[in-house]
Amino acid sequence: MNLVKAFSAEDNHAALEAEAKLILDEIALSEYNQEPMTVSDVMSLTHIASSATLHRKLSDLLNGGHIEFIFKDNNRRTKYVHLTSSSTSYYKQLSSLFKKAKA
């Protein structure tokens, strides 16, 4: 666990508030399962926070370069939420640390 803490302290994800980290974790998990989340899906995560807080944290994640919104095909009504390359790299490194710690 100390290894994970040391890794997290060096990364810009460490500055995120708890709710934002939980939202980012949900987005990462959905991408891992190849089931991308929409903005509506994120807004339904009321077990994490209220709708107003979810909206604010989603904006914080977007403005912080942790996520991006993507439209699929010609459908401009549905925004899909994806990790940016830096967030994807963060989760890959974190996964690698857990594998090393387990071994």
Is 68 within 8 Å of 82 (Cβ atoms)? yes
Structure tokens at 9: 């302290």
SS (H, E, C) 23-34: HHHHHHHHHHCC
Confidence of residue 50 (pLDDT cuts 50, 70, 90): very high
CATH dotted code for 2-102: 1.10.10.10
Q: How confident is the model at residue 10 (pLDDT cuts 50, 70, 90)?
A: low
More reliable by pLDDT, 73 or 63:
63
Model confidence at 3, pLDDT cuts 50, 70, 90, reads low
Place of tokens 């302290």: 9
Q: Give me the residue spans of the domains in the chain.
A: 2-102
Q: Is the dihedral of CA 94, 98, 101, 103 positive or negative?
A: negative
Question: CA–CA distance from 46 to each of 26, 51, 77 (Å)?
Answer: 12, 7, 22
d(CA 36, CA 42): 10
Total-model pTM: 0.84
